[in-house]
């Protein structure tokens, strides 16, 4: 009967919800000692300048290999860490490790590239990030232009005035800001103009089908034109094919990032594959 069916559906629903919250609790508990247990690491994904073909920067992407749970995607654990506030300690750890890595490269006589760190809106809301980052750069004697921060469009728009103020403080320190996942966060154009950001990262959902879907193509085209008008650079995220790369080049997009160039890889691999190569190219020119 309909009534019975309804009850069954209800009990199924609660079981699913319970399973989900059990997983969440497990993740929460395991995250508590992830830093101390050495379970976190950084991967780097190169960003290429489309005019020169040079790798000019890399995005820092957090990885968690839990003893208990195995590999957990940041897409799953970052939102939980944001809910519990654990993102503050984790975010600080990512920043410190990134600055330490830059320091190591400098000490090894390697010409570094700028590293872009993802910042959570929870960090933006609760911490004095410019002060924290300034302190780290000073502690390790790393020049500020080697660090970039990414804030999602959605995050920026949850408190635009706070975002504007913080981005301005970064700008004054020489730390560049990018707006991540651009096109998915409903920012008003008037705010966008007031964010003194360095570049817009065009969300990969628009890049995915841009070579076949005329709407996606039009959006990518419009974002690039808008950025040019506002004096911002553009980077396309999630570039996986040569066709996408070529179209982006035609549209005058500045930079690309994606599997076509490289997956996110450990820092050692990144150094061997991209930094050493950059140095050889420079030596030839
Ligand atoms: P995001 O910042 O937008 O990072 C881009 C995501 O796209 C990464 O997923 C990356 O591995 C993936 N990606 C790169 N190229 C391609 C491609 O060609 N095709 C496809 N399908 N995917 C590609 P990942 O590493 O799983 O990270 C997911 C999200 O987790 C990030 O999205 C970011 O929002 C968040 N995240 C990662 N690390 C951190 C961190 O240290 N702090 C904070 N607050 N968030 C982080
Ligand atoms: Mg990002
Ligand atoms: Mg993104
Ligand atoms: Mg994302």
Task: Please give the share of the chain, as a percent, with pLDDT higher than 70.
Answer: 91
pLDDT of 1: 44
pLDDT of 2: 47
**Helix, strand or coil, per DSSP, at residue 186:** coil
Predicted confidence band of residue 162 (pLDDT cuts 50, 70, 90): very high
Mean pLDDT, range 253-268, rounded to an integer: 98
Report how far apart the first and last C-alpha atoms of the chain are (Å, whole number). Answer: 78
- The protein residue with its alpha carbon nearest to ligand 1, atom 36, reads 74
Predicted confidence band of residue 278 (pLDDT cuts 50, 70, 90): low
Q: Which residue has the higher pLDDT, 184 or 239?
A: 239
pLDDT of 187: 75
pLDDT of 86: 96
For 171-220, the pLDDT digits (tens) are 999 999 999 999 988 777 788 888 889 999 999 999 999 999 999 999 99
Tokens for 114, please give them. Answer: 């700028």
Which amino acids bring their CB within 6 angstroms of ligand 1?
45, 61-62, 73-75, 78, 91, 94, 118-120, 180-181, 204, 237-240, 258-259, 264
Q: How far is the CA of 220 from the centre of ligand 3 (A)?
A: 14
pTM, 2 dp: 0.92
Question: Which ligand is nearest to the Cα of residue 150, counting in written order?
Answer: 2
- Whether the per-residue pLDDT at 49 is higher than 50: the answer is yes
DSSP conformational letter for 241: S
Q: How far is the CA of 110 from the centre of ligand 4 (A)?
A: 30
Label residues 250-267 b or e (16+ Cβ within 10 Å = b).
ebebbbbbbebbbebbeb
Q: How far is the CA of 180 from the centre of ligand 3 (A)?
A: 5
Question: Which ligand is nearest to the Cα of residue 257, counting in written order?
Answer: 1
- The protein residue with its alpha carbon nearest to ligand 1, atom 43, reads 118
Mean pLDDT, range 235-249, rounded to an integer: 98
Mean pLDDT, range 49-75, rounded to an integer: 97
Q: How far is the CA of 237 from the centre of ligand 3 (A)?
A: 6
Question: Which ligand is nearest to the Cα of residue 124, counting in written order?
Answer: 1
Residue 68 CB contacts under 8 Å (≥ 6 apart), including other chains: 26, 30
Q: Which residue has the higher pLDDT, 23 or 63?
A: 63
- The protein residue with its alpha carbon nearest to ligand 1, atom 4, reads 61
Residue 128 CB contacts under 8 Å (≥ 6 apart), including other chains: none
Q: Ligand 1: which atom is nearest the Cα of residue 181? A: 3
Q: How far is the CA of 178 from the centre of ligand 1 (A)?
A: 14
Give burial (CB, 10 Å; 0-12/13-18/19+) of 114.
Answer: middle
Mean pLDDT, range 242-259, rounded to an integer: 98
Ligand 1: residue of 47, 73, 74, 256 to mutate (most ligand atoms within 8 A of CB) is: 74
Name beta bridge partners: 114. 57
Q: How far is the CA of 181 from the centre of ligand 4 (A)?
A: 6
- Whether the per-residue pLDDT at 281 is higher than 70: the answer is no
pLDDT of 47: 98
Find the DSSP H helices in the chain. 2-32, 74-84, 87-107, 121-126, 129-140, 153-158, 160-173, 189-194, 204-207, 214-230, 242-250, 267-270, 276-284
In order of 99, 208, 240, 244, 246, the CA distances from 213 in angstroms are 40, 9, 16, 12, 16
pLDDT of 217: 98
Name beta bridge partners: 234. 200
């Amino acid at each position: 009967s309909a009534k019975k069916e309804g009850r069954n559906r209800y009990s199924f629903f609660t079981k699913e919800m319970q399973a989900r919250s059990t997983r969440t609790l497990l993740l929460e508990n395991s995250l508590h000692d992830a830093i101390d247990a050495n379970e976190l690491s950084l991967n780097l994904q190169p960003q290429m300048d489309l005019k020169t073909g040079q790798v000019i920067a890399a995005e820092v992407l957090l990885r968690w290999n839990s003893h208990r749970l195995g590999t957990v995607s940041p897409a799953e654990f970052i939102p939980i860490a944001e809910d519990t506030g654990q993102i503050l300690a984790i975010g600080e750890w990512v920043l410190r490790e990134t600055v330490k890595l830059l320091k190591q490269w400098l000490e090894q006589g390697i010409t570094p590239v700028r590293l872009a760190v993802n910042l959570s809106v929870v960090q933006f809301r609760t911490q004095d990030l410019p002060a924290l980052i300034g302190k780290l750069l000073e502690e390790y004697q790393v020049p500020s232009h080697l660090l970039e921060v990414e804030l999602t469009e959605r995050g920026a728009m949850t408190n635009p005035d706070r975002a504007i103020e913080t981005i301005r403080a970064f700008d004054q320190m020489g730390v560049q800001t990018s707006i991540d996942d651009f096109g998915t966060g409903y920012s008003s154009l008037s705010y966008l103009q007031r964010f003194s950001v360095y570049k817009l990262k065009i969300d990969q959902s628009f890049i995915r089908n841009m070579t076949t879907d005329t709407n996606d193509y039009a959006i990518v085209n419009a974002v690039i034109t808008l950025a040019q008008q506002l004096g911002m650079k553009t980077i396309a995220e999630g570039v996986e094919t040569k066709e996408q790369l070529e179209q982006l080049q035609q549209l005058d997009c500045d930079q690309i990032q994606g599997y076509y160039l490289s997956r996110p890889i450990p820092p050692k691999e990144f150094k061997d594959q991209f930094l050493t190569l950059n140095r050889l190219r420079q030596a030839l020119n």
